[in-house]
Amino acid sequence: MRRRIHLIDASVQGAVKSAARQAGINQWVTPHILSHSFATHLLEDGKDIRTVQELLGYEDVSTTMIYTHVMKKPGLGVRSPVDGLK
């Protein structure tokens, strides 16, 4: 029989903070901040919002849409085929 080990939230948070300290990151780092950063970078790289939704485990795509508001590139990095015609 295979059992799953459930991690306590404090253990995960401690591991993330320890890793940030070892990496020399002097900013506030939490698992939640990492998930925001991960989602934003995926969207900025042009990944499909449904894929990001699935990776983060969100049931509703509107929750994932929050990340589009903090992106550096508007429009999810999608270009229209007519953008190159000038």
> Given 3-state DSSP classes, what are the helix, strand and coil percentages for the chain, each rounded to the nearest 5?
55, 0, 45
| pLDDT tens string 69-78 | 766 655 545 5
Q: Please list, in sequence order, all residues whose beta carbon lies within 8 angstroms of the beta carbon of residue 16, skipping any fewer than 6 positions away.
A: 29, 30, 31, 34
| pLDDT tens string 2-51 | 555 566 677 888 899 999 999 999 888 888 888 888 888 888 888 888 89
